[in-house]
Amino acid sequence: MKAQTIAIIGMDRLGASIGLALQQSSLELTIIGNDRDNSMAEAAQAIGAIDAVRRNLSRTAAAADILIITVPAAELEETMQIVGGAVQPHTLVLDLSSLKGPGVAWAEKYMEQGHYVGGSLVLAASALADGRSDTDLADPSLFKDSLFCVMPSVDVDEKAVDTAVNFGKLLGAVPYFVDIAEYDNLVQGTETLPGLIAAALFGAVHKAGGWRDMLRFAGLPFALSTLPLNTGPDITRLAFNNKEATLRWLNALIEEMQQVRQLIYEGEEELLSAQIEGLQLERDRWLHNRAKNDWLEEKGPDLDSISMMGTLFGGLARPRGRKGTED
């Protein structure tokens, strides 16, 4: 069997980078793209990330052997509602959005057939300092030597999981299985907390006297620290997805800030400097480990050593000769 069409819903830098990575593979694929902002899909086509733009979301889903969803959290339920009745029985729906628990629930509610697997593509260490999401900045190596978190539900077909795992390998990422609830709890600290910090930081400066002059002179540290505000409605959606976890992370942050405040109040410059230097070393170690991706006990087999088409698609793809739905 042979996969004929991969559809990507969401054509920002993430979705376009997936398309570019697939285009560089040796597989014979047709890659189509859809985005609520049609200009983003057209930009993805212009850089060669997709072969064609599909404006109709339902028809995009119906044409797919593998359907990749990379939309913001605020758009996920509506997207699942539209594609749920359109996907074919063999189709793998690989949800790469940030909400895993709700994603599973919405898949159960709206998907009439097909196979749903939740996942998360972790960016390569070299891309962490670049917070831009523009489509024309897509990079096929965006996930190389990083992690692909795979979070299947308990009743999903094993072939669908195999397909998802090998899809991640095709992008250059190492598969890593994570419990859905555990992932959602941890992501509150790495995704939700930065957004709330950005909102609080910008709010504090914006409410201060002379804020216009401060913002006129603000530089790179302030711009990068407040960059998560670009995710807009997703900050609120993520914060309330698991309110208890969000509050725990906020309490931990407040405790850290209170300790810093106390050191400054007491004039403990050396202690504060030592604390910051220690954290800087830990951050450097984290980036070093991310670059090497060496904290895994073992990695999966190289794609060169396996049958590419058969193993990647795990028997889920439609038979040869059957064409996807066109607009």
What is residue 316's predicted lDDT score, i.e. its pLDDT?
63
What is residue 145's predicted lDDT score, i.e. its pLDDT?
85
Residue 20: closest CA among 137, 173, 164: 137
- The dihedral through the CA atoms of 43, 46, 51, 54 has a sign that is positive
Tokens describing residue 260: 């810093």
Which CATH number does 182-265 carry? 1.10.3660.10
Same-fold call for 5-178+300-313 versus 182-265: no
Tell me 299's DSSP state.
-
What is residue 322's predicted lDDT score, i.e. its pLDDT?
40
> What global pTM score does this model have?
0.83
Residue 312: pLDDT band with limits 50, 70, 90: low
**Higher pLDDT, residue 287 or 296:** 287
pLDDT of 89 over the 60 cut: yes
Condensed to tens digits (0 to 9), the pLDDT of residues 134-165 reads 888 889 999 988 899 999 988 899 999 999 99
Tell me how far the alpha carbon of residue 309 is from its chain's centroid. 25
Tell me 294's DSSP state.
-
pLDDT of 3 over the 90 cut: no
The answer to whether 81 touches 112, Cβ cutoff 8 Å, is no
Stated as kind and residue range, the H or E segment containing 18 is helix 13-23
How many CB atoms are located within 10 Å of the residue 105 CB? 14
Tell me 156's DSSP state.
S
The answer to whether 75 touches 96, Cβ cutoff 8 Å, is no
Q: Give SS3 for 15.
A: helix
The answer to whether 131 touches 159, Cβ cutoff 8 Å, is no
Place of tokens 């057939």: 113
Residue 64: pLDDT band with limits 50, 70, 90: very high
Condensed to tens digits (0 to 9), the pLDDT of residues 207-228 reads 888 888 888 888 888 888 998 8
What is residue 219's predicted lDDT score, i.e. its pLDDT?
87
Tokens describing residue 94: 């690989």
**Higher pLDDT, residue 299 or 244:** 244
pLDDT of 324 over the 50 cut: no
Q: What DSSP line would sit under 249-283, residue for residue?
A: HHHHHHHHHHHHHHHHHTT-HHHHHHHHHHHHHHH
pLDDT of 276 over the 90 cut: yes
Tokens describing residue 32: 């189509």
Residue 62: pLDDT band with limits 50, 70, 90: very high
What is residue 7's predicted lDDT score, i.e. its pLDDT?
97
- Half-sphere exposure at residue 248, Cβ-oriented, CA atoms within 13 angstroms: 10
How many CB atoms are located within 10 Å of the residue 295 CB? 10
In one-letter notation, the amino acid at residue 47 is I
pLDDT of 41 over the 80 cut: yes
What is residue 49's predicted lDDT score, i.e. its pLDDT?
95
What is residue 326's predicted lDDT score, i.e. its pLDDT?
45
pLDDT of 259 over the 90 cut: yes
CATH T-level assignment (fold) for domain 5-178+300-313: Rossmann fold (3.40.50)
Residue 31: closest CA among 61, 53, 56: 53
What are the sequence ranges of the domains in the chain? 5-178+300-313, 182-265
Condensed to tens digits (0 to 9), the pLDDT of residues 243-258 reads 888 999 999 999 999 9
pLDDT of 297 over the 90 cut: no
* Rounded CA separation 89/160 (Å): 12
The answer to whether 45 touches 53, Cβ cutoff 8 Å, is yes
Place of tokens 């603000």: 218
**Higher pLDDT, residue 225 or 303:** 225
pLDDT of 301 over the 50 cut: no
What is residue 310's predicted lDDT score, i.e. its pLDDT?
54
* Rounded CA separation 249/243 (Å): 10
Condensed to tens digits (0 to 9), the pLDDT of residues 161-199 reads 999 999 999 999 999 999 988 888 888 888 899 999 999
